[in-house]
Amino acid sequence: MSTAPDPEIHWRPTVVEVDVAAFMRNVDTVRGMLPPGSRLIAVLKADGYGHGAVQLARACSRHHVAMIAVSLLEEAMKLHEAAVDIPILVLGPLTAHQIELAAEYEMVLGITGPEMLDAVAAVATRRRRPVRVHLKLDSGMGRMGLVESDLAEAATILTHAPFVQLDALYSHFSTASEPHSAHTSLQIERFRQMAERLRDLGVHAPLDHMANSAATLRAIVNPGDFVRVGMLLFGGEPIDGTRSGLEPVMRWTTRIARLKTMPPGSPIGYGATWTTPRDSCIATIPVGYADGYPYLLSNNADVLIRGRRAPIVGRVSMDLVTVDVTDIDGVALGDEVVLLGRQGDEIVTAEELAGRSGTISYEILCGVGHRVPRTYIGG
């Protein structure tokens, strides 16, 4: 018996549309922000922030980006299997077995501590082939990376490991999205001091990179430095209260699956948290928290229907959401419903949904589940 999908089946209409052309325009806009000699590392971890890393990586070329950064070896392998020929930086951390695999497939490895550096040196020496690395310095984030007391050990490992090729030093800002924070300047100075200490110990890297999306937008980039940009490429806003002018890349839609008129006093949804105040037209849409639409948007968000905003009423459930469409003229079964993105002159942004649900826009985009199919346009 065949297990292939039946092409005649009409699947649930809940989909994400990814505008590849908008993504590439954002790439070019970010490139235009950079000072002379600087290049872009496109961060496509978490499946390209939920947009689809393979499809977006395929749209890029070495002309557009110097490298593609991911977090996991699994993510890197998917890009490799898709024949993406741009160098891939795996930010890690990696286990010893993963380092073996990454070296075999010529990934560039982000070194998160002296113990990982030692493991990479052992693999490179055994293989007698170069392994390219970027050495992470903890300038004030407190997560991964070498601290001051690790530098001497790292220098010893590097000077005795001729097959470890140090391409770059890097760090990560923790408060670049807060323009008035003094911590960013402190991190820059600490990174400079740590890099100078490594040079005194005989270790030099030709490249540096610290800037994330927020720092890039704020022009906290030295000529020649690389930048690691993720959120800006997807049209997100890495700095609260600002508008970068970049284009949202994701548009999440569904369609009205049920329409009914309810009399005043009718409870809607689990817990009866909303009751109709009048004769009300209620639309049910086939999406829910199992798809990544946050439960905290219960009674607390709008969708777009026929170019107008309509409020979510009742609780967001696993597979269904109810919407009050009483004031939407001409509303009909099958109408498009925009959960995230633009319809007519109205737009629902990831930042809006994040603010309403008490999270960040990164989580909104990354949280759209894999049971929501992605379609790609413009590429």
Q: Does the pLDDT at position 25 exceed 90? A: yes
Q: Are residues 34 and 134 in the same domain?
A: yes
In a domain, 212, yes or no: yes
Last residue of a domain, one of 201, 234, 267: 234
* pLDDT reported for residue 174: 95
Q: In one letter, which amino acid is 372? A: V
Q: Does the pLDDT at position 2 exceed 50? A: no
Taking only the tens place, the pLDDT of each residue in 179-237 is 989 999 999 999 999 999 999 999 999 999 999 999 999 999 999 999 999 999 999 98
Task: Give the whole-angstrom CA distance, residue 295 versus residue 300.
Answer: 10
SS3 100: helix
In a domain, 10, yes or no: no
Structure tokens at 21: 């052309």
Taking only the tens place, the pLDDT of each residue in 87-135 is 999 998 999 999 999 999 999 999 999 999 999 999 999 999 999 999 9
Domain count, the chain: 2
What's the N-to-C CA distance of the chain in angstroms?
36
Q: Are residues 160 and 206 in the same domain?
A: yes
What CATH number is associated with residue 31?
3.20.20.10
Counting residues of the chain whose pLDDT is more than 90, the rounded percentage is 94
Q: Are residues 155 and 218 in the same domain?
A: yes
Q: Are residues 274 and 302 in the same domain?
A: yes
The answer to whether 65 and 39 have CB atoms below 8 angstroms apart is: yes
What CATH number is associated with residue 339?
2.40.37.10
Q: What is the pTM of this model?
A: 0.93
Q: Are residues 81 and 227 in the same domain?
A: yes
In a domain, 15, yes or no: no
In a domain, 115, yes or no: yes
Q: Does the pLDDT at position 244 exceed 50? A: yes
Candidates 111, 351, 125; CA nearest to 231 is 351
Helices (H), the chain: 20-33, 45-49, 53-59, 73-81, 96-104, 114-127, 151-159, 183-200, 213-217, 350-357, 361-366
For tokens 């501590």, what's the residue? 113
Q: Are residues 224 and 284 in the same domain?
A: no
Q: Are residues 292 and 351 in the same domain?
A: yes
* pLDDT reported for residue 98: 97
What would the DSSP string read from start to end of 102-166? HHHTT-EEEE-SHHHHHHHHHHHHHHTS-EEEEEEB-SS--SSSB-GGGHHHHHHHHHT-TTEEE
Task: Give the whole-angstrom CA distance, residue 284 versus residue 334.
Answer: 11
Q: Are residues 96 and 222 in the same domain?
A: yes
Tell me which of 49, 270, 362, 376 is the catalytic residue. Answer: 270
Last residue of a domain, one of 175, 208, 234: 234
Decide if 136 is catalytic: no
HSE toward the beta carbon, residue 59, CA cutoff 13 A: 24
* pLDDT reported for residue 379: 74
Per-residue confidence band for 243, with pLDDT thresholds at 50, 70 and 90: confident
Per-residue confidence band for 1, with pLDDT thresholds at 50, 70 and 90: very low
In a domain, 243, yes or no: no
Show the domain range for 210.
Answer: 20-234
Last residue of a domain, one of 234, 267, 288: 234
Per-residue confidence band for 6, with pLDDT thresholds at 50, 70 and 90: low
